[in-house]
Amino acid sequence: MTDPSVKDVLTSDHHELYDTLVARRYFAKFDRISGHLGRVAAEMEAEGRLSRTEARVLGRYLTAVAGTFRALSHKYLMTGREGAARLTIDRHESGFPVAQELMTMAVDAQQAEKHLGACPRKPS
């Protein structure tokens, strides 16, 4: 029996979402969760369990995370279709997309202007 490769060990907890409905449900669930977290933070501030500064920092963080998930949901809108990309998530620890997904999205964002500039334009 051979030892598993380093890649196999590092990716053994990864899971690809192949189905369109599963991917959409995944993102819809996170959207609901992030909405609830914002309300919980506001309630904790009202109760005095978070300072105003802590609530603002947490609110900005939650907004950024929700925006990241919204961007990923648009990127993987066509998951399940032939040739479409598949979202890879960590199924054991967090349930979040793996780091490679975020790095790929960051590279895509940096190259977006270049790719959009190369698109043919409609005559005015």
Q: Is residue 102 one of the residues assigned to a domain?
A: yes
What does the angle CA 108 – CA 30 – CA 73 come to, to the nearest 5 degrees? 30
pTM of the predicted protein model: 0.72
Q: Is residue 1 one of the residues assigned to a domain?
A: no
3-state secondary structure at position 49: coil
Q: Is residue 19 one of the residues assigned to a domain?
A: yes
Q: Is residue 123 one of the residues assigned to a domain?
A: no
Domain carrying residue 41 = 9-117
pLDDT reported for residue 15? 81
Q: What total number of domains does the chain contain?
A: 1
Q: Is residue 124 one of the residues assigned to a domain?
A: no
Q: Is residue 93 one of the residues assigned to a domain?
A: yes
Q: Is residue 78 one of the residues assigned to a domain?
A: yes
- pLDDT tens for the chain, 124 residues: list them: 556 776 665 666 788 887 888 889 999 999 999 999 999 999 999 999 999 999 999 999 999 999 999 988 888 887 667 777 788 888 888 888 998 888 988 898 899 888 888 888 877 6
Question: Other CB atoms closer than 10 Å to residue 76's CB: what's the count?
Answer: 21
Q: Is residue 28 one of the residues assigned to a domain?
A: yes
- The answer to whether the Cα torsion of 56, 62, 65, 68 is positive or negative is negative
